Amino acid sequence: MTDSFTDKYSASEQGLGYIYQPRLALLRLLELPENTTVFLEKDDDLDFVDKNGSKSLASLKHKAAGDRLTDLSIDFWKYVRIWLARYKRDGHSASNLRFFLFTTGTVSNTSFLKEFLSVQTGMGDETKSLAEQAEEALSRSNSDFIGDIAKEFNELTHTEKQDFLVRILILDGSPRIEDIPEAIKDRHMRSIRREHRNAVFERLEGWWNDEVIKQLTGNEEEGIFGFELSDKLSALSEEYKLDNLPITFRGKEPAGEIDTENDPRTFVVQLREIGVSSSRIRNAILDYYRAFEQRSEWARENILVSGEIEDYEDRLVDEWIRYRDVVFEDLDDQSAEDVLQRAGKELYKWADQQSGNIESLRIRARVTEPYVTRGSFHILADAAPEPRIYWHPRFLERLSKILEVSI
């Protein structure tokens, strides 16, 4: 049973409004010419500037389902007040401003506000101008708030009132916040395979929100251009092609400190066995973490082909065996420990520094991110019950003795 009680102190609607703002901006910028720029919280909720410098100020209202705008709706007139101030500031009729109200509500059929809709019903009062209809509506209110707006509106001449009002467009029935993702995927992601659209949208919105935060915190003074959005969407979509995979863990680090001296995992123990420096072991731990998490994400998103990881690991092991046989060729039972360590370091150096340049060792042709290959070698070196690859020529023998003792 749904609890119908609504806490009068709840800020859920206000919170939705804040989230709605960047989401709707994302949708709208995708629909506008690429040379359009968007600013948030500048002259209005959203400012759209075209290539000629003309500015469209957009106010947004995320309303409860079924909400309607009528002649004296505060949701309309409070934005009129904002727009009036901008209109006067920029030279009245000489200004290059347009005004938009995006609302999830709808305009009442009996309201003169239907004159501001993009699609006219032809049922308006054709005997009166917009200015006259607005004056008439304002005169019917006893509200002090509406009275203040009427006073500011009446400071304009009749011609200016008409000029101001014809710049206003109400886009009612705008998509609700929860409907915007599907609208973007349906209208702007048709070139992306359907099974990948959710992942692409999530990454696109993540990037978008970061750009919005930069702008709102003053770290980025320029607006966000439509072509930047197009380029990002294109780049993300490329990662989901058949010869590519998305790379999302570049630069990421595991939670907590990295302990290169005491980490008990087999792949780390292996590196300590050949005398690899602490800084290089740290890099190996990062590569392992990024490759492991990346694979997990690919699996969750169902991007990989059945058996693809297993085939990839087999290719890595096969190439490792070939290079191992070359490096270890001159070793024998009498080889000293320092010789064994040098051989192990040379083998590891190949995996760490050279293997990423071998095209046949990429999981897919266009996946060139080094941590995928390097980290996969470490995953193989960490396999249980026995690592599939090793660096020190005697490591498996020593591991077997350790296991015998522990048993």
Name the phi and psi angles at 216, rounded to 5. -70, -25
Strands 46-49, 37-40: parallel, antiparallel or unpaired by DSSP?
antiparallel
Query: Domain extents for the chain?
Result: 12-234, 266-406
Task: Compute the distance between CA of residue 97 and CA of residue 102 in angstroms, rounded to an integer.
Answer: 16
Provide the pLDDT for residue 13.
62
At 156, list the tokens. Answer: 């304009």
Provide the pLDDT for residue 65.
84
Q: Which residues pair with 305 in a beta bridge?
A: none
In three state form, how does the secondary structure of 117-168 look?
ECCCCCCCCCCCCHHHHHHHHHHCCCCHHHHHHHHHHCCCCHHHHHHHHCCE
Provide the pLDDT for residue 3.
43
At 144, list the tokens. Answer: 């002090």
Which residues, at least 6 apart from 386, have a Cβ–Cβ distance to it below 8 Å? Answer: 396, 399
Report the predicted TM-score, pTM, of the whole model to 2 decimal places.
0.80
Q: Which residues of 209-226 are buried (b: 16+ CB within 10 A; e: fewer)?
A: eebbeebeeeeeeebbbb
Provide the pLDDT for residue 90.
95
For 132-172, the pLDDT digits (tens) are 999 999 999 999 999 999 999 999 999 999 999 999 999 99
Which residues, at least 6 apart from 231, have a Cβ–Cβ distance to it below 8 Å? Answer: none
Helix (H, G, I), strand (E, B) or coil at 110: coil
Task: Compute the distance between CA of residue 249 and CA of residue 219 in angstroms, rounded to an integer.
Answer: 24
For 5-59, the pLDDT digits (tens) are 445 444 556 677 788 999 999 999 999 999 999 999 999 999 999 999 999 999 9
Give the rounded distance of the alpha carbon of 338 from its chain centre. Answer: 50
Contact 106, 173 (CB under 8 A): yes
How many residues would you count in the chain?
407
Contact 234, 256 (CB under 8 A): no
Cis peptide before 175 (omega within 30 of 0): no
Q: What residue ranges in 3-120 does DSSP mark as E strands?
A: 37-40, 46-49, 55-61, 68-69, 97-103, 106-107
- The torsion angle over the Cα atoms of residues 394, 400, 404 and 405, rounded to 10 degrees, is 40
- Token pair 């209109």 is found at 87
At 397, list the tokens. Answer: 């023998």
List, for the chain, all residue ranges whose pLDDT scores fall below the cut of 50: 1-6, 8-10, 405-407
Nearest to 364 by CA among 246, 269, 277: 246
Contact 314, 357 (CB under 8 A): no
